[in-house]
Amino acid sequence: MEDIKERRKKRKNYHIENDEIEVITDDVEVITDEIEIITDEEDDNCKIIKKKKSKLKKGEKIFIVFNVLIILAIIAYYGYRTLYYYKREHKVEEKITLKEKITNIKNVTYKNDGLYEKDNYFYFKGKDVNNYLYYSGRLFRIISIDNDIKVIEENVVTNLVYGLNETYDKSLIHSWLVDYLESYKDYEMYLSKKGWCNQTVDINNYDCKENINDYIGLIATKEYLDAGGVDSYLNNGSYYWTINYDDDNAYFINSTGNINNYIKDDNDNYFSYGIRPVTVISGELLYIKGDGSKDSPYIVEEIAPSILNNSSVGSFCLYHDMKYRIMNIDEDGVSMILNDNLEIEKKYDDAIKYLNKEFIKDFNKDELVKQEAIINVYNQDNKYDYKEKVKSESMYVIMPKIGDLFVNNGDNYWLNTLSDKKINTYYIMDDGMLFGDLKNKVHAIKPIIKLKGDLIIKSGLGTLDVPYVLE
């Protein structure tokens, strides 16, 4: 009880200093006093002191506001610079179609070599033009652009006669091109159908109204002349057919770039000239990369195959330090033709023996697939039907024949095609033309091998300069 009385007594000794509460009102500002409790250790008394908060002066307010603005300005400035340089280093280009990229007004010229335009139809003219395009393992040149992009392969891919006084749709070339179309990767996705001339024409007064609708064809004489003819990128020094014909002959481009129109000699032997396939790239495909130069062609697809079977026909591949070109892909494996012929020369009958003994003695046969070595015949008697077989045999290494892909690269080498079913066979001359010779003569050899499709690609782009490299 006494403790309680003592505590009450002490409470009576509390006192309040400055017991008046000051309220300062300046418009809407109200400053409320804080209460501080101080303990006096000597007399054990507690004092309650009301402290007044001082009001900011006008100059002080201005100073604070000014500094806040300075800080915000610095943050905004450096934030902008950070965003600007980030965007510049991580620039994302707006997606455009390849057609839009090529036909940009800054690319159009009205003189010299380059891209020309007439009534929204664009075409390349001259020799020095950046119109290279890469698709499905093959290099093309862009001919013209309307709704879509018409292109021609840079090189001749095989040799055939045009046909025996037939229209284009009934010619040997048209039949061969229909089969060749299947070698383009996913062609229904990347290509468009167009009309291809199928009537006699006068190349000096070109007018063609009858067409067949297809994905693939040949160049028209008018397109060749519009590009500059002899003085154009289309003159590549090789013989090749155009799609046009007159009453008796078909038109072709000779090695000097002139247009001729004879298809047989006085003995009714028909001439075999090169084929440069023409196709049409869809105008809706997006631009991926490239500037149209030979070193950086326009790209319409990006593929990075991990195994050989997923590559494209036309791609290049290193095997045993030799550069091959893929000519066929099927479920059994990948057929590849040596890009250059071997330096060694043999008689025809000795060539196959050499290839399957000496040539592959250091190869790993676990990587090879046997293939059918077909001997075909090709002459007027069988109407130059390159599909007619005379003989076939299974072996690891074979020689190319008429009708095969990429037989024009190289020179003076044997083909596995007979000209008369007896003693004469064909070989490729140094200008890519066909010529017949006796089997007991000697010529160079161009081997074809077939590899298993599951071989791993460890590097390379599949191009001539950067071929695929296998593990």
In the prediction, which pLDDT does 163 show?
A: 86
Give 446-463 pLDDT, tens digit per residue: 999 999 999 999 999 999
| CA–CA distance, 2 with 141 (Å, rounded to integer) | 114
381-397 pLDDT per residue, tens: 899 999 999 889 999 99
CB count within 10 Å of CB 178 equals 12
pLDDT tens string 146-170: 999 999 999 999 999 998 877 899 9
Residue 362 has pLDDT above 70, yes or no: yes
User: What is residue 365's DSSP assignment?
Assistant: T
What pLDDT, on the 0 to 100 scale, is given for residue 54?
A: 61
β-pairing verdict for 149-153 and 138-145? antiparallel
pLDDT (0 to 100) of residue 32: 43
pLDDT per residue as tens digits for the range 20-65: 444 444 443 444 444 444 444 444 454 544 555 566 666 777 777 7
pLDDT at residue 121 tops 70? yes
Instruction: Give residue limits of the domains in the chain.
Output: 2-51, 98-281, 307-470
Three-state secondary-structure class, residue 346 = strand
Confidence at residue 15, expressed as pLDDT on a 0 to 100 scale? 44
Give which of 304, 308, 340, 342 is closest to 326, Cα–Cα. Answer: 308
Percent of the chain with pLDDT over 70: 85
Contact 184, 322 (CB under 8 A): no
Q: What is the mean pLDDT of residues 187-199?
A: 96
Position with higher pLDDT, 269 vs 57:
269
> For 306-338, how does the pLDDT look when each residue is reduced to its tens digit (9 = 90+)?
999 999 999 999 999 999 999 999 999 999 999
Instruction: Calculate the average pLDDT of the chain.
Output: 86
Residue 418 has pLDDT above 80, yes or no: yes
| pLDDT, position 189 | 95
Do residues 468 and 316 make contact, with C-beta atoms less than 8 angstroms apart? yes
Type of residue numbered 120: N
Confidence band for 90, pLDDT divided at 50, 70 and 90: low
Confidence of residue 433 (pLDDT cuts 50, 70, 90): confident
pLDDT band at 411 (very low <50, low <70, confident <90, very high): confident
Contact criterion met (CB below 8 Å) for 223 and 193? no
